[in-house]
Amino acid sequence: MEAHLALASLALRILLTAVGVLTATAMRPCAAQEGASPPSAELSDRCPGLVAQQKPRLVPAAWQRDDSATRRPAPSGPASVWPASIGADQARITYVGHSSFLIESPRLVRIVTDYNDYVRPPVIPDIITMNHAHSTHYTDRPDPAIKYVLRGWGPSPDQPARHDMSFEDVRVRNVPTNIRDWSGGTERHGNSIFIFETAQMCIAHLGHLHHTLNQQQLNEMGRVDVVMVPVDGSATLDLPGMFEVLSSLKASLMIPMHYFSAYTLNRFIARAEEQWDVEYNATPSILLSKTTLPTSPKVLVLPGR
C-alpha cells in the first residue's frame, strides 16, 4: 500500500511540474518575435496587413458617406463607372492615364497614384501618392480637400520617405527606390513603390522605377496580388530589367502604365506573351476580389495611356 501511495505522489508531482512548465512557456513571448527576421530568398507574406485582414464593416445606409460636396461630375459615356457599387470583398481600379490610377476600397476610400496637375480623376480622392521623377508624377498644388498627401521622396537623399498609414479599410505603405537625375546621375530615394492593402489584397504601384529590386526591397514589399508597371522601357527601367522585377514579384495580375504610344505598349505585350496570358479590358475600370484573381499570372491592359 505504501508503495502505491509513493508512486501516486510521484506521478502527481510530475504532472504539476509539467503544467507549470507549459504555463510559463505559454506566457513567455516567442524568441523569434524578439528580433528582426533575416532576408530570405522567398518573398515574405506581409500581405494583407493588419487593416486588410479585418473584414470590411457593413455600413448602414444612414451612415454612408455623402460625397455630394466633393464629387465632381462623372464623365459621360459607357466607360463611366463611378456610380457603380463596390462589393464588401472588392476593390475597383480605374486607369486615369499615364501613371495615375484611381483605387477604391469597399468603403469607398479613394486613392489616386502619381497625382499631378495634368491627369486627374473626376472625383476628389481621400489619399494621393506622388513621385519625384517629372511633373507628370506629382504636384506642388494638391487639392486642399485631399485628406492625405503622401510624397514618395524625402527631404534629402539621406532621408527617404517612409509611409505606413491606415484610413478606414485601407493601409498604405511605401518602399523607397532611386531614380536618375537630370544630369544622368542618381537621385537616391527619389521614387517610392506604394503598396495599398484593402479587400484582402495587396496592390503595388511601381511608380517611376529605374532599377531592378534587391532582396531587401522585395522583402519590404512582400507578396503582392496586383502590380501597376511602367512599360515604356526607356524613361523608366528597360524591358529586360522590368521583366526581371515582374518575375520576382510573382503577382497574379500585372497592369501596364506609362507607355506613351501603341508601339511602346505592343513592344511590352509581345515580350509578355512569351511568359504570361494577356487580356484587354473593354473599359478603364475593373472590379477585383481575392477570389477572382487569376490563378496564374496575367497581364491586363486597361484602355488609356
Domains of the chain from N-terminus onward: 47-56+86-301 (3.60.15.10)
More confident residue, 88 or 53: 88
Lowest mean pLDDT across 19-23, 114-118, 162-166, 256-260:
19-23
pLDDT at 74: 40
More confident residue, 47 or 8: 47
Lowest mean pLDDT across 21-35, 134-148, 226-240, 257-271:
21-35
| pTM score | 0.75
Question: Residues 203-261: pLDDT tens digits?
Answer: 999 988 878 888 988 999 998 999 999 998 777 889 999 999 999 999 999 999 988 88
Handedness of CA 217, 220, 224, 230 (dihedral sign): negative
pLDDT at 189: 67
The pLDDT of residue 23 is above 70: no
More confident residue, 68 or 197: 197
Question: Residues 149-203: pLDDT tens digits?
Answer: 998 777 777 778 788 999 999 999 999 887 766 666 666 667 889 999 999 999 9
